[in-house]
Amino acid sequence: MGYFTHKRYRLMVLIIMCMKTVNGESDCSKEDELYVIRSVSSGLVLDASEPDQIQIQYFTGFAQQLWRFERGTHAGLFRIVNNATGTPLDYHYYLDNWYGLNVNASTEQEFFINAKGTITNVNTSWNFDILQNHTVPGTFVGLYKEDGNLAQQFTLQEKMLLAKHEP
Protein backbone atom coordinates (compact mmCIF):
# COMPACT_ATOMS: atom_id res chain seq x y z
CA MET A 1 0.00 0.00 0.00
CA GLY A 2 1.48 3.40 -0.99
CA TYR A 3 2.14 6.15 1.54
CA PHE A 4 -0.73 8.33 0.26
CA THR A 5 -3.15 5.42 0.50
CA HIS A 6 -1.81 4.57 3.95
CA LYS A 7 -2.51 8.15 5.15
CA ARG A 8 -6.07 7.88 3.82
CA TYR A 9 -6.44 4.59 5.65
CA ARG A 10 -5.44 6.24 8.97
CA LEU A 11 -7.95 9.03 8.29
CA MET A 12 -10.68 6.45 7.71
CA VAL A 13 -9.72 4.57 10.90
CA LEU A 14 -10.18 7.81 12.88
CA ILE A 15 -13.56 8.41 11.26
CA ILE A 16 -14.78 4.86 11.83
CA MET A 17 -13.56 4.70 15.43
CA CYS A 18 -15.29 7.95 16.25
CA MET A 19 -18.53 7.07 14.48
CA LYS A 20 -18.87 3.77 16.33
CA THR A 21 -21.37 4.22 19.12
CA VAL A 22 -21.81 2.67 22.53
CA ASN A 23 -25.13 3.48 24.21
CA GLY A 24 -25.69 6.26 21.66
CA GLU A 25 -22.36 7.97 22.46
CA SER A 26 -19.36 8.26 20.17
CA ASP A 27 -16.50 5.98 21.17
CA CYS A 28 -13.55 8.02 19.95
CA SER A 29 -10.63 6.08 21.43
CA LYS A 30 -8.09 8.06 19.37
CA GLU A 31 -9.30 11.33 20.88
CA ASP A 32 -6.05 11.99 22.77
CA GLU A 33 -3.83 11.53 19.71
CA LEU A 34 -2.20 14.57 18.13
CA TYR A 35 -2.39 15.06 14.38
CA VAL A 36 -0.89 17.26 11.70
CA ILE A 37 -3.45 18.42 9.12
CA ARG A 38 -1.61 18.42 5.78
CA SER A 39 -2.76 20.00 2.52
CA VAL A 40 -2.84 17.55 -0.39
CA SER A 41 -2.12 20.32 -2.93
CA SER A 42 0.97 21.81 -1.23
CA GLY A 43 2.16 19.29 1.36
CA LEU A 44 2.17 22.16 3.89
CA VAL A 45 0.41 21.88 7.26
CA LEU A 46 -2.15 23.94 9.19
CA ASP A 47 -0.40 26.29 11.60
CA ALA A 48 -1.89 28.41 14.42
CA SER A 49 1.20 30.54 15.11
CA GLU A 50 -1.06 33.51 14.30
CA PRO A 51 -4.23 32.48 16.20
CA ASP A 52 -6.34 35.12 14.45
CA GLN A 53 -5.80 33.45 11.07
CA ILE A 54 -4.77 29.84 10.42
CA GLN A 55 -2.16 29.48 7.68
CA ILE A 56 -0.32 26.72 5.86
CA GLN A 57 3.38 26.42 6.72
CA TYR A 58 6.28 24.01 6.37
CA PHE A 59 6.19 21.30 9.03
CA THR A 60 8.25 22.24 12.10
CA GLY A 61 6.74 19.93 14.71
CA PHE A 62 5.87 22.87 16.99
CA ALA A 63 2.68 22.63 19.06
CA GLN A 64 0.97 25.27 16.86
CA GLN A 65 0.87 22.63 14.10
CA LEU A 66 -0.57 19.82 16.19
CA TRP A 67 -4.30 19.22 16.50
CA ARG A 68 -6.57 17.07 18.64
CA PHE A 69 -9.98 15.86 17.48
CA GLU A 70 -12.52 16.01 20.34
CA ARG A 71 -15.91 14.40 20.18
CA GLY A 72 -18.70 16.62 18.98
CA THR A 73 -22.37 16.57 19.88
CA HIS A 74 -23.07 13.57 17.61
CA ALA A 75 -21.12 10.57 16.34
CA GLY A 76 -18.78 11.55 13.52
CA LEU A 77 -18.60 15.25 14.50
CA PHE A 78 -15.47 16.81 15.97
CA ARG A 79 -14.11 19.97 17.50
CA ILE A 80 -10.58 20.46 16.18
CA VAL A 81 -8.42 21.79 19.03
CA ASN A 82 -4.95 23.30 18.66
CA ASN A 83 -2.32 21.75 20.93
CA ALA A 84 -0.50 25.05 21.63
CA THR A 85 -3.51 27.22 22.44
CA GLY A 86 -5.90 24.57 23.76
CA THR A 87 -8.68 26.27 21.82
CA PRO A 88 -10.77 24.89 18.95
CA LEU A 89 -10.94 26.02 15.35
CA ASP A 90 -13.60 28.60 14.61
CA TYR A 91 -14.41 30.69 11.56
CA HIS A 92 -14.88 34.40 10.96
CA TYR A 93 -15.92 36.51 8.01
CA TYR A 94 -12.88 37.37 5.91
CA LEU A 95 -13.72 38.04 2.24
CA ASP A 96 -16.81 37.77 0.06
CA ASN A 97 -17.98 34.17 0.14
CA TRP A 98 -14.95 33.00 2.18
CA TYR A 99 -14.48 32.58 5.93
CA GLY A 100 -11.09 32.60 7.62
CA LEU A 101 -10.20 29.98 10.23
CA ASN A 102 -8.87 30.98 13.64
CA VAL A 103 -8.62 29.49 17.12
CA ASN A 104 -10.60 30.90 20.04
CA ALA A 105 -12.58 29.79 23.05
CA SER A 106 -15.74 28.96 21.08
CA THR A 107 -16.71 25.32 21.48
CA GLU A 108 -19.64 25.52 19.08
CA GLN A 109 -17.80 24.81 15.83
CA GLU A 110 -17.98 21.19 14.79
CA PHE A 111 -16.59 19.52 11.72
CA PHE A 112 -16.83 16.19 9.97
CA ILE A 113 -14.33 14.46 7.73
CA ASN A 114 -15.25 12.48 4.66
CA ALA A 115 -13.48 9.93 2.48
CA LYS A 116 -12.51 12.46 -0.20
CA GLY A 117 -10.29 14.20 2.33
CA THR A 118 -12.43 17.28 2.89
CA ILE A 119 -13.06 18.68 6.37
CA THR A 120 -16.50 20.28 6.51
CA ASN A 121 -18.05 22.71 9.00
CA VAL A 122 -21.43 21.50 10.24
CA ASN A 123 -23.01 24.99 10.42
CA THR A 124 -22.01 26.25 6.97
CA SER A 125 -21.52 22.94 5.10
CA TRP A 126 -18.38 24.55 3.66
CA ASN A 127 -14.97 22.87 3.49
CA PHE A 128 -11.52 23.78 4.72
CA ASP A 129 -10.02 25.68 1.80
CA ILE A 130 -6.66 27.27 1.03
CA LEU A 131 -7.25 30.87 -0.10
CA GLN A 132 -7.19 31.20 -3.89
CA ASN A 133 -5.61 27.74 -4.24
CA HIS A 134 -2.17 29.10 -3.34
CA THR A 135 0.51 26.60 -2.32
CA VAL A 136 3.01 28.94 -0.64
CA PRO A 137 3.75 29.12 3.10
CA GLY A 138 1.75 31.81 4.89
CA THR A 139 -1.38 31.39 2.78
CA PHE A 140 -4.59 31.65 4.81
CA VAL A 141 -6.85 28.66 5.38
CA GLY A 142 -10.59 29.13 5.70
CA LEU A 143 -13.97 27.76 4.69
CA TYR A 144 -15.38 27.85 1.18
CA LYS A 145 -18.24 26.09 -0.60
CA GLU A 146 -17.27 22.74 -2.08
CA ASP A 147 -15.63 23.13 -5.48
CA GLY A 148 -13.86 19.78 -5.82
CA ASN A 149 -10.34 21.11 -6.13
CA LEU A 150 -7.19 19.96 -4.32
CA ALA A 151 -7.10 23.11 -2.16
CA GLN A 152 -9.94 21.52 -0.18
CA GLN A 153 -8.32 18.14 0.39
CA PHE A 154 -6.32 17.34 3.52
CA THR A 155 -4.79 14.29 5.16
CA LEU A 156 -4.18 13.61 8.83
CA GLN A 157 -0.87 12.30 10.12
CA GLU A 158 -0.44 11.09 13.67
CA LYS A 159 2.35 12.91 15.48
CA MET A 160 4.08 9.68 16.51
CA LEU A 161 4.34 8.59 12.85
CA LEU A 162 5.75 11.86 11.53
CA ALA A 163 9.34 11.22 12.57
CA LYS A 164 9.43 8.29 10.15
CA HIS A 165 8.36 10.46 7.19
CA GLU A 166 9.75 13.93 7.84
CA PRO A 167 13.39 15.06 7.44
Mean pLDDT within 115-130: 92
- Give the model's pLDDT for residue 34: 94
Backbone angles phi, psi at 63, to 5 degrees: -60, -25
Q: What CA–CA distances, in Å, run from 144 to 1, 57, 74?
A: 32, 20, 23
Helices (H), the chain: 3-19, 159-162
Query: What whole-number distance in Å separates Cα of residue 104 and Cα of residue 85?
Result: 8
Domain 3-162, CATH 3.30.70.20 — does that match?
A: no
DSSP 44-55: -EEE-SSTTS-E
The three-state secondary structure class of 61 is coil
pTM higher than 0.85: no
**pLDDT tens, position by position, 54-102:** 999 999 999 999 999 998 888 899 999 999 999 899 888 766 677 878 7
> For residue 40, what are the contacts with CB-CB under 8 A and spacing of at least 6?
117, 150, 153, 154, 155
